[in-house]
Amino acid sequence: MNRPDLPRVLCVDDESRVIEAIVLNLRKNYQVFTALTGEEALKTLKRIGGAAVVISDMRMPGMDGATFLNNVMHLFPQTSRILLTGELGRDAAVSAVNKGHIFHFLTKPCSPDELKAAVEAGVARHQLLNVEQSLLRETLNGCIKTLMDVLALTNAVAFGRAARIRQQAMAFAATLGIGDCWPLEAAAMLVHIGHLSIPAELLEKIYYGEKLTPQEAVMANRTPDVVSTLLEKVPRLGPVVQILTALNWTDQQIARLGDGTIGLGARILGLVLHYDALIAQGQSVDVAVQTLRTRSVRFGESLVSRFAAYLDAGSAERELREMPLHAAKPGMILMEDVHGDSGALLVPRGFEVTELFVEWARGVGMDVLNREVKVWVGDASEGGEE
């Protein structure tokens, strides 16, 4: 019986006797899963949420080991990939390394001690990468979120959407069972960083979904290049830049990315951005969803349907309340724009109230703070009103 506290190991080989031998040697210290083909193994990995180590035979019917491990690399980059093979020629070895970024080679027949040592090293690598990834995600995304919160309060038109885009993208990704998706979270927060190069008047038109002149559209369409220029030299932001760049690719190019971190991240973020723009233009949720269904070629019919289901479920989980702005607590989401006495946008619709917002609000005039605003209240903000 598999113990959920043990590291997961997936063994793939079309010879059942090889599978049985591997399971016999590993089952005491690991959760061992098996598959006879690469296609079956990919389904198993998606079902169990990945594995610490994957051991694959090279020569299998249909998908060979190199191709299979390449798919594993894109879907679960932290997984240690071990290739098990009989006679490995030079060309096959080059293909395996180039395609699958192999962590370790094992040749048949393989001694139990050699097998256990390779798996143990693979698990240690997987754990190290997970710790590194966790530190990177928490540090990097924490810094980005603080920066975006500051920018949203000092330049609501330019960065007001960032808060609600991030919140919606991450909440939707959670319903899909996606585990570590820090590149998507970072991309959602940074997607509007290119607006730094756009005049305030044009930003107003973009924010409210107004029709742009041809010249304005050209200027607005340049923002992805600005994003790439600003971010491409920042260490470890490669996947984030790739997601942001893919937002402007054709439907066919996005389809070729598959369901890995970049492909799925770009489709989720593009879907949320498109939905947010439709709502900003005054469309109802139902009409916006129907519009999104016409873009199923780009986003995928299944993804659009699951997004629609997520929107239905989300509306039931939160309660819409009306309260003075000063009573809003961290975790609540403002559901309408807040303007100053001069008419300038102070806080955008969809902004998630943070501790920083509470501090900032103390410097705002009482006329603004006493205004009644609509907010979504969920579990995270049930401390509620005073």
Say if residue 330 is preceded by a cis peptide, omega within 30 of 0: no
Edge-first strand listing for the sheet containing 80-85? 31-35, 8-12, 53-57, 80-85, 104-107
Per residue in 178-194, pLDDT tens?
Answer: 766 788 988 888 888 88
3-class secondary-structure state, position 321: strand
Per residue in 105-149, pLDDT tens?
Answer: 787 778 889 889 989 999 998 888 877 777 766 777 677 777 777
C-alpha span between 236 and 280 (Å, rounded): 33
C-alpha span between 72 and 78 (Å, rounded): 9
306: left (phi over 0), alpha (psi -120 to 50) or beta: alpha
Looking at the predicted structure, is the pLDDT value of residue 95 above 60? no
Helix 112-154 vs helix 182-190: crossing angle, to nearest 10: 20
* pLDDT attached to residue 76: 85
Give the domain ranges of the chain.
8-128, 155-316, 318-386
Question: What's the start-to-end Cα distance of the chain, in Å?
Answer: 52
Nearest of 337, 346, 333 to residue 375 by alpha carbon: 333
User: Could you tell me the maximum CA-CA distance found in the chain, to the nearest angstrom?
Assistant: 79
Q: What integer is the mean pLDDT of 189-202? A: 81
Q: What integer is the mean pLDDT of 214-238? A: 79
By CB atoms closer than 10 A (0-12, 13-18, 19+), residue 282 is exposed
C-alpha span between 312 and 317 (Å, rounded): 9
Domain spanning 155-316: CATH superfamily: Hypothetical protein af1432 (1.10.3210.10)
C-alpha span between 243 and 191 (Å, rounded): 9
Please answer whether residues 84 and 116 qualify as being in contact, where contact means their C-beta atoms are separated by less than 8 angstroms.
no
pLDDT interval class at 87 (50, 70, 90):
low
41 CB neighbour count, 10 Å cutoff = 26
Angle made by CA atoms 377, 381, 386, in degrees to the nearest 5: 95
Give me the CATH code for the 8-128 domain, please. Answer: 3.40.50.2300
* pLDDT attached to residue 380: 43
The listed range with the strongest mean pLDDT (45-49, 158-162, 178-182, 376-380) is: 45-49
- CATH class, 318-386 region: alpha beta
At 330, list the tokens: 């961290």
Please answer whether residues 180 and 133 qualify as being in contact, where contact means their C-beta atoms are separated by less than 8 angstroms.
yes
* pLDDT attached to residue 94: 53
**125-152 burial, b if ≥16 CB within 10 A, otherwise e?**
bbeeeeeeeeeebeebbeebbeebbebb
Looking at the predicted structure, is the pLDDT value of residue 225 above 60? yes
- Looking at the chain, the whole-number percentage of residues with pLDDT higher than 90 is 21
- Partnered with residue 339 across adjacent β-strands are 345
More confident residue, 247 or 365: 247
The H-assigned helical ranges of 76-155 are 90-100, 112-154
Q: What is the mean pLDDT of the chain?
A: 81
* pLDDT attached to residue 202: 83
Per residue in 274-330, pLDDT tens?
Answer: 998 887 776 788 899 999 999 999 999 999 999 999 988 766 566 778 998 888 888
* pLDDT attached to residue 381: 43
